[in-house]
Amino acid sequence: MGLKQSRPKLFPGDIVEYPRNKYFSHFAVYYGERDGVPYVAHLTCRDSDSMMPLFGRALRSAIKLDPLELLGKNYKVNNMMDGCFSVRDFHDVVKPAIDDLMGREVTFDILFHNSEHQATLLRYGVKKSQQIERIYEHIMPSWKKLLEQKKL
């Protein structure tokens, strides 16, 4: 009917959410434009050769800079904690942190670090994941006995 799909206006430091399924999304931080192409910094993940003692599955990760639409054409701005935490200055804090992290490889467990954790850590200086917190309520009962016995 003549309607065009609109894109959200992005500002450097915005958290960009790429929905993947009804439970999880991939998150990135808008980095700005280079030669007219918008870029995002995001956490790449792939299986690691090492094992994590707590959960068994480890992921190998790195911060990567990619064109905005390379990660998907379906995205939205989700600065989910702007009302709770102050936003860090992009040019003085966030951009140098992204530049410093690029190229470094990190091994971690997905429950304790994921793309949402990384995006909120860069934007607010706080590591928080709303999508992981929703599943903690199902995971924690299975850990309770092991935690009480100090086996975890």
pTM of the complete model: 0.74
| Cα–Cα distance for residue pair 29/33, rounded to 1 Å | 12
Per-residue pLDDT reduced to its tens digit, 24-75: 788 999 999 999 999 999 988 665 555 544 444 556 677 889 999 999 889 9
Non-local (6+) Cβ contacts of 147 within 8 A are none
